Amino acid sequence: MFSHSIPSVARVLPHFEYFFEQFLFGIGSWLLMKAFSTLLTSALLVAGCSQVIDQFYSKKNFDAQTFNADISECKERNSVDGAMVRECMKAKGYIVQLETK
- Supply the pTM of this predicted model: 0.48
Beta-carbon count within 10 A of 71 CB: 17
- Residues pairing with 96 in the sheet: 57
pLDDT single digits (tens) 17-37: 776 677 667 776 766 677 777
What residue type is 18 in one-letter code?
Answer: Y
Rounded Cα gap, residues 82 and 75, in angstroms = 8
DSSP string, 47-75: HHHT-EEEEEEE-TT--HHHHHHHHHHHH
Q: Which residues of the chain have pLDDT under 70?
A: 1-16, 19-20, 23-24, 28, 30-32, 44-53, 101
**What pLDDT is stored for residue 71 in this prediction?**
93
> Quick one: pLDDT at residue 57?
92
